[in-house]
Amino acid sequence: MTIGRMENVEVFTSEGKGRGLKATKEFWAADVIFAERAYSAVVFDSLVNFVCHTCFKRQEKLHRCGQCKFAHYCDRTCQKDAWLNHKNECSAMKRYGKVPNENIRLAARILWRVEREGTGLTEGCLVAVDELQNHVEHFGEEEQKELWMDVDTFLQYWPPQSQQFSMQYISHVFGVINCNGFTLSDQRGLQAVGVGIFPNLGLVNHNCWPNCTVIFNNGKIELRALGKISEGEELTVSYIDFLNVSEERKRQLKKQYYFDCTCEHCQKKLKDDLFLGVKDDPKPSQEVVKEMIQFSKDTLEKIDKARSEGLYHEVVKLCRECLQKQEPVFADTNLYTLRMLSTVSEVLSYLQAFEEASYYARRMVDGYMKLYHPNNAQLGMAVMRAGLTNWHAGNIEVGHGMICKAYAILLVTHGPSHPITKDLEAMRVQTEMELRMFRQNEFMYHKMREAALSNQPMQVMAEPSNEPAPALFHKK
């Protein structure tokens, strides 16, 4: 196996995990360990008309390719940059007469690149696409069936004049996409818009309490340090959200990534007691706790249904009732309470009921702070939303405090040049100015605020979506 060279990191054999990456020097929080452009990437099927196929930014007005009418771009520059990767795709689509799904489009883009450059290492890559794991041997019956359907469609789409690859190699590429596909988000980092293959990132192993995080910014991913990393230490990221009991996380990792997690948090079941937390005084009986868990699960199903139908007032009603029932039983770090708090604060903010939303958002943040790694990106985003909600509700001091806290986290996880960090910096400056005015003359402050709000309505929260926050890795 050929290994490329790269400063800052080296490939090594990680005990019980196969290959891994380790640091060749010391790093501190917010350091970028490496940045990497996608080997190949595509926009999701559902967004092909709304997102630029080169830079993955969401835009109102996009130019489309005059030949295939499928590819969309911000402008001529993006279109020119795309041509090398789009050329074969463009003629293949015209010949095939329809648009194949994102997996097939991505597999084809990978194979056209292999055809152009050969199967060896490409510049800046530590590992060749050939040598990424595909886990095809672990596929269940359903996954096998899907794989062969994709391979079948791929063969109809792949042009006869292109290099012909063996069935085994084609299924290897689909396997690689299935377990190494990384989710690309739009410029704000709020919506998953596509999937790409990043060979170097594919070498970074999982840990539920990792020392690195990955962010997609301006066309490339960055692997960023979350705290001090010593020379020789293994670099890890979390493939899934930490907010779950260890058994559930292990089940999810086994199902999606085919390995048994042996990280310290899973082995020692760290924080499980908080995730399942119940009130201390008086302590509820096991029977009551069991009933409450069932009631919470049933409510969550009803909430999902109401959400998908856009019945937001119904969602709020269900959350309120459930939180009231949970109150004497569950602690505020309990997963079921946190799911309710997160949903109700988001939906109330959308309905502009900021006063009530801010109370739930504060409770949610208090719970999250006891659970997440202090520099977790999802924590940063949640604290930012809670800060905005409190600021809208007129809780200037709390809102400003949360916005500062979120800004500190995102400087580490996203870095100062990310659009969302820049937004947050602007909010921080604005709330600081308001806080000063508020402390000097409260009466004048409220007068000015009313005038400002009636004159120019504050930018309101986006409509709550039914989809969870973009997951790090793309799973069908």
pLDDT digits (tens, 9 = 90+) for 367-413: 999 999 999 999 999 999 999 999 999 999 999 999 999 999 999 99
Higher pLDDT, 15 or 333: 333
Name the pLDDT band for 463 (thresholds 50, 70, 90): low
Please report the domains of the chain, with CATH numbers, ordered by start residue.
38-181 (no CATH), 273-452 (1.25.40.10)
Burial of 355 (0-12, 13-18, 19+ CB in 10 A): middle
Mean pLDDT of all residues in 96-120: 93
**Amino acid, single-letter form, for residue 193:** V
Lowest mean pLDDT among 138-152, 347-361, 444-458: 444-458
- CB neighbours (10 Å) of residue 441? 11
The answer on pLDDT for 272 being more than 70 is yes
Question: What number of residues does the chain have?
Answer: 476
Query: How high is the mean pLDDT of the chain?
Result: 92
Q: Give the Cα separation of 8 and 334 in Å (integer).
A: 40
Among candidate residues 275, 265, 234, the one with its CA nearest the CA of residue 15: 234
Contact (CB, 8 A) for 186 and 209: no
According to the model, what pLDDT value does residue 35 have? Answer: 94
Residue 140, Cα to own-chain centre: how many angstroms? 26
Q: Give the Cα separation of 268 and 249 in Å (integer).
A: 13
Among candidate residues 103, 197, 195, the one with its CA nearest the CA of residue 154: 103
The answer on pLDDT for 274 being more than 50 is yes
CA distances from 396 to 2, 308, 354, 358, 454 (A): 57, 33, 13, 11, 18
The answer on pLDDT for 178 being more than 60 is yes
Name the pLDDT band for 219 (thresholds 50, 70, 90): confident
According to the model, what pLDDT value does residue 16 have? Answer: 77
How large is the greatest C-alpha to C-alpha distance in the chain, in angstroms? 76
CA distances from 434 to 22, 74, 352, 428 (A): 46, 37, 21, 10
Q: Give the Cα separation of 25 and 41 in Å (integer).
A: 31
pTM, two decimal places:
0.90
Lowest mean pLDDT among 59-68, 205-214, 267-276: 59-68
Contact (CB, 8 A) for 237 and 375: no
Lowest mean pLDDT among 6-15, 102-111, 306-315: 6-15
The token pair that represents 269 in the structure block? 């079941």
Name the pLDDT band for 457 (thresholds 50, 70, 90): very low
CA distances from 241 to 97, 156, 168, 213, 253 (A): 40, 38, 33, 12, 11
Among candidate residues 124, 104, 97, the one with its CA nearest the CA of residue 9: 124
Q: SS3 of 330, please?
A: strand
Burial of 118 (0-12, 13-18, 19+ CB in 10 A): exposed
**Amino acid, single-letter form, for residue 416:** P
According to the model, what pLDDT value does residue 123 have? Answer: 75
**Amino acid, single-letter form, for residue 364:** M
According to the model, what pLDDT value does residue 383 have? Answer: 97
